[in-house]
Amino acid sequence: MLPLFLFSGSIFVLGQNIQIFNTTNSGIPENTIRAITFDNSGKKIIATDYGLSIFDDFTFQNINSTNSDISDNAIRSVIVDQSENIWIGTTFAGAYKFDGTSWTNFAPENCNIPDHFIRTINQDITGNMWFGTVEGLAKFDGTNWTTWTLSNSDINSNNIASILVKPNNDKIIGTLNGGIIYYDGITMTEYTLLEGGIPDNSVTDIAIDDLGNLWFATPSSGFYVDNGTQNWQVFSMSTTTIPTNGLTSICYNPSNGNVYGGSLETGLIRFNPANGIISNFNSDNSLLPDNHITCLKTDASGALWIGTAGGGLVKWQDPDAGITGIIHSSSISPNPFEEFIRVKMNDPVEIKLSDLIGNSVEFEIICEAGSSTIIPNPNLPFGVYILSVAFPDGRMIIERIIKEK
C-alpha cells in the first residue's frame, strides 16, 4: 500500500484564498513542482523532483522509485489520457504509462522515442500520444512511432518544450531556439524570428482561450498572442507594464477570462484581456512562497494551481472577476521625472520602486491626504524603472517610469 499524508489548512489574505502545500505542512514529497494535471474525478496529479504525487484534496499518495517500477524520480511532465491512464515524462528514463496497476516504460532502448528526457506529453483527439523530447518530436498511435528530428524533417530544433492540441486536432508545437510549428496533420508550418516575425525563437508554454486565440510564453520576450492571423501581439517590457520578459508557463482561466503567466524571478503575472490591466503577485506583495514559477493549471472550479521551483504547490482562488475587475483611481506623475514622483490615490496603498530586473530602489516618501511623494536617491542613474502600487484587495498597478537628467 502506498503512503498517504494529510495536509494543513488554508491561508486567507487580501481577499484571496491561498493554500500552500510543502514538505513541512503536507505530505507532498518535494518542494520543486514541474507539472500538474487533473483526472476526471478532480484528483491532482503532480510531477515533482522526487516522484509523482496524487492529491485528492485530503491526502497525498506518493509514487517513486522506492515503491513502484519508476526508475527515475525527476519527473518533468504528466498528463491523464482519455482512458484515465497516467503518463509521465522523466529526465533520464523516458516516458512511463500507468494503467492503475502496472507501469510501462518507453525509452530509446525499447522503442523509437528520440530521447530519455521528455519535456512535454499530450494526447490528441484521435488518441495518439505526443512526446516532446530534447532530441525531437514523437507520435505514438499505440503500435507505431513517428518521429520528427533535424535529421529527418525540416524542423528547426530538436528541443521540443510544449505541445498544444487545438479543438480541431491541429497541433501547436513550441521549441527551444527553433520557433513554433503549426501542424494540421499534413503540413508543418514553421514561424521563427526571421521567417514569421515571432518575437522569440523559444516557447516555454502554450495556452488557448475560449475564442481560439493562442498564447505563447517565452523565456526572453514576454508573451504573445495569435488571434488566427499570425499577426503576433506582443506583451513585453518594452510594450507593456509586464515586470519581466522571462516566462516559464502560461494558462487561460475560462472562469474569469484572465491569462496567467509564470515567471523565472518575479512571481505570477495576471493579464485581464477585457481591460488590459496587468497585475503582478510575488513574495513581496502576497503569500506566494517562491517567485520562480514552474507551471500553471486551472481546475474545474476556476482555482489556479501554481507549481514553484522551491516553495511547493500553491492553490489560489483569484478574487478578480475578470471583466468586472476593480478599478482604482490613481495618478502617477511626472513621467519622465527628475527629482520626485507623486502618486495620487483614494485608497491606502503599498509602493515599491525597482529597476528592470527587480532590484529594489530606496526612496524617501512623504505621505499627505490623497497622495504620496516619492523622492529617490538623487544619485539614481538615468534610465527606466518600475513603480508598483499595491492596493489592499490584491490589485497591482505597475508603471514604467523614466529617470531623466
Mean pLDDT of the chain: 89
Give yes or no for residue 1 having a pLDDT over 50. Answer: no
Q: Given a cut of 70, is residue 253 above it in pLDDT?
A: yes
What's the rounded Cα separation, in Å, for the pair 271 and 21? Answer: 25
> How much is the pLDDT for 66?
97
Confidence of residue 403 (pLDDT cuts 50, 70, 90): confident
pLDDT at 327 over 50: no
Read out DSSP for 46-63? Answer: EEETTEEEEE-SSEEEEE
Provide the pLDDT for residue 4. 43
Tell me what the mean pLDDT of segment 44-56 comes to.
97
Percentage of the chain exceeding pLDDT 70: 89
Mean pLDDT calculated for residue range 352-369: 77
Chain centroid to Cα 161, Å, comes to 13
Whether the per-residue pLDDT at 322 is higher than 80: the answer is: no
So what's the pLDDT on residue 390? 74
Q: How far apart are the C-alpha atoms of 116 and 113, rounded to whole Å? A: 8
Structural domains of the chain sorted by starting position, each given as residue range(s) with its CATH number in brackets:
4-324 (2.130.10.10), 330-403 (2.60.40.1200)
> Residue 335 pLDDT more than 90?
no
Q: Would you list the DSSP string of 141-175?
A: -SS-EEEE-TTTS--S-S-EEEEEE-TTS-EEEEE
Residues 6+ apart with CB under 8 A from 144: none
User: Does the structure show a pLDDT above 50 at 328?
Assistant: no
Residue 16 has pLDDT above 90, yes or no: no
pLDDT value at position 194? 96
Residues 291-321: pLDDT tens digits?
A: 999 999 999 989 999 999 999 999 998 866 4
Paired with 225 in beta bridges are 215, 233
CA gap 20, 10 in Å, rounded? 7
pLDDT value, residue 384? 73
- Indicate if the pLDDT at residue 2 is higher than 90: no
Q: Express each pLDDT in 187-234 by its tens digit.
A: 999 999 999 999 999 999 999 998 899 999 999 999 999 989 999 999
Least confident of 80-84, 189-193, 382-386: 382-386
* Structure confidence by residue, pLDDT tens digits, 17-39: 789 999 999 999 999 999 999 99
Given this model, what pLDDT does residue 320 score? 67
- pLDDT at 324 > cutoff 50: no
CB 89 within 8 A of CB 118: yes
For 3-15, the pLDDT digits (tens) are 443 333 333 333 4
CA–CA gap between residue 75 and residue 12 (Å, rounded): 31
The alpha carbon torsion through 63, 296, 384, 369 (nearest 10 deg) reads -110
Residue in this structure with the C-alpha cell 520576450, named with its chain if needed = 221
**So what's the pLDDT on residue 139?**
98
Q: What percent of the chain has pLDDT over 90?
A: 68
pLDDT of residue 10: 35
The predicted-structure confidence for 98-129, as pLDDT tens digits, reads as follows 999 999 999 999 999 999 999 999 999 999 99
Per residue in 136-195, pLDDT (tens digit) is 999 999 999 999 999 999 999 999 999 999 999 999 999 999 999 999 999 999 999 999
pTM score, whole prediction? 0.78
Residues 6+ apart with CB under 8 A from 369: none
